[in-house]
Structure 1
Amino acid sequence: MTTAYEALARAQRDDWARVVATVAKRFGSLEVAEDAAAEAFATAAERWPDDGIPPSPGAWLTTTATRKAIDHLRRESSRDARHREALLVYDTGPEPVGIIDDDRLRLFFVCCHPALSMEARVALTLRMVGGLTVPEIARAFLVQDTTMGARITRAKAKISAAGIPFRVPDAADLPRRVAGVLTVLFLIFNEGYLASGAETAPVREDLTGEAIRLARLVHRLLPDDGETTGLLALMLLIDARRAARVAQGGELVPLGEQDRRRWDAAQIAEGHALVRERLASGQAPGRYQLMAAINAVHTDGDRPDWTQVVALYDQLSRIDGSPLVLLDRAIAVGQCDGPDLGLSLIDELEQALGGYHAFHAARADLLRQAGRASESRRAYDTAIALAENTAEVAFLTQRRDALPV
């Protein structure tokens, strides 16, 4: 039998973002919404053990948080127009859901408002709706926790100061907001596929599964949007390898050493079909379409065609010259043209990626292939110190310990 505390923990995981977004939309203030939600959960912790778990915990928390927000406005000014407006809003029935009939996806589009910078809207949506912590979001952006916390706070302040409405977008709004939604889904998927926290499971299927589910819904809403199709294909082709990703001993298994018999053939077939669909369109591919094409090459046949992979990375780097894309391209060049050339390209990225564990892991692997064992060991040591995913740490440690003395 579920206890009150177990029910509250589940609600914290599943309903927090929805409660905050609902209250913020009604009262126009993220700060008020978060404070009201926190008070509602505190009230639940006090009352549910004695009163019992309500039939609909999420609805109970939303109603309680709304009342807490009204109380907050009443305390500030019991006679002003804002209080009267709050009471009117509270008595109003639920808004129509509009074109998006999934509660969580609707909140993604609500939060990805074009008045905010792309970086701000993505970070804010990841925090409010995506379920990621500030440290997880910071790691996704390769910045310090305090930096990301400040960005999210500034985004909330801009929403409050500019009076940006928490309005359910209509069909005409979707194209202007979809890029932010796709970025949010991709980062949630990445956090699930290779979790960055040291205290979480190496792979979080709850995050990858939810990201794929929502990507399918976006694809149904915008079937002709190339990047939406590309992202869904990319997720399917990566997730298809999940069962072979971590060995029984708990260490990460690199792509080239995975047992392909354990890959999900149906997901690979679906992903390949989506990639071919985009190729047949004749339109210039975007970032997610190119990344999907790269993963299609990796999942086609027994060994990838590294020449083709490098050519796709060349195309990708022309539209996304970020250090992470250039790192992946350098790794591919190392496999195609030899470790020395790959290393020369990787070393050019040290200033941008010197604090990122994958940079040192890539250097360590190419140094290992080049027969430079002592340098490889030092690079592995640095990568291990920076990595937090338990499966990745186990893999890097195994590779380092296998180097000749």
Structure 2
Amino acid sequence: MREASLRPGPAPAAATMGEPGPRGRFGGYGGRYAPESLVEACREVEEAFREAREDPGFRNALAELLALHAGRPTPLTPAGRLSRELGVRLYLKREDLTHTGSHKINNVLGQALLATRMGRRRLIAETGAGQHGVATATAAALLGLEATVFMGERDIERQALNVFRMRMLGAEVVPVTTGSRTLKDATSEAMRHWVGATAGSHYCVGSVIGPDPYPWMVREFQRVIGDEARAQCAAELPAGVPDHVVACVGGGSNAAGTFAGFADTTARLTGVEAEGGAGAARGRLGVLHGCRSLFLQDGDGQIVEAHSIAAGLDYPGVGPEHAHLRELGRARYVTVTDDEAVAAAVRLARAEGIVPALESAHALAWVIRAAGDGGLPAGSTVLMTLSGRGDKDISTLKELL
């Protein structure tokens, strides 16, 4: 589905992408909808996070891990050949070059450090594409923690490489056989498991979803993407900021982290969803996985299963802050199809020598489309977060090409 309009949005509000308001809400979205045992666990996580982010020792330890273990800062790469083909100046924020191959490591290192600070020795995680699971297993191995990762049976089949990586790193991978056997169901099982394991375990949520403080906390751990990109753009671009900032959106953590660096600028923010998982573009208000946001639903208010060729976008909703940004008009949310994403992945590989994750290829597919139909005027500067590399998707691509 194409967006109805690409008219400029309103000027950014100063408070956009700050702390959530009362009861952990971004406007009317967010909150803490959870069983009582998890409400208390979330309070403990919030208290620990607020203390940690004010502690120079914690901040320095995280910065050191991000530099020495994750490989930050990641480059801002001009896509020269593709820019000439499209008639825009495209820059790629290269999260695919981090250790483990995606932006997920940023958030996981932060939460793993927080878990050790809280005395938790075990990490629980959900994963769809497997990248969050790999990052969790990696951080657990690095810090001497246990890791249990819940993954839908369907995703285990299509992401076999990442399943092997998790197990090689010492994590337990638990197949989820209910529902669609994808990310939504893995998240549900991980939360159910956490109910009986709050004393010694920390639930390492992988996206800007879940009960408060997770949407805010995950965004803050991911905002290193946007903060780095903002400084790099200031040094690289004549205007200091790009005209457009684009990122793919499932739950939406790489987009939230990127947008956070530019929310107070004139840059237009665009989140790109899968056509079959467009929570922001076509969702309705509802509650799932502990928060109030926009979700795909049927006429009776039941959650509708999402579909995407990219396992990381196979989620029927969007994080509450994205719902809020959409309502404010500060960000727009558009969709692309599986076929468009595959074509974009091939085009980037052949133009720039970069094989992107299929999740990231969705963002590029929209850039290609908008450059062709006038949605991105000729000469525009576009920053796109390349959230992950495509190693995990080679088997899928091989079957299609």
Which structure features the higher share of helix residues? 1
- Structure showing greater radius of gyration is 1
TM over 0.5, shorter chain: no
TM-score, normalisation: structure 2 = 0.31
Return the TM-score normalized by structure 1: 0.31
Which of the pair has the greater relative contact order for Cα pairs under 8 Å at 6+ separation? 2
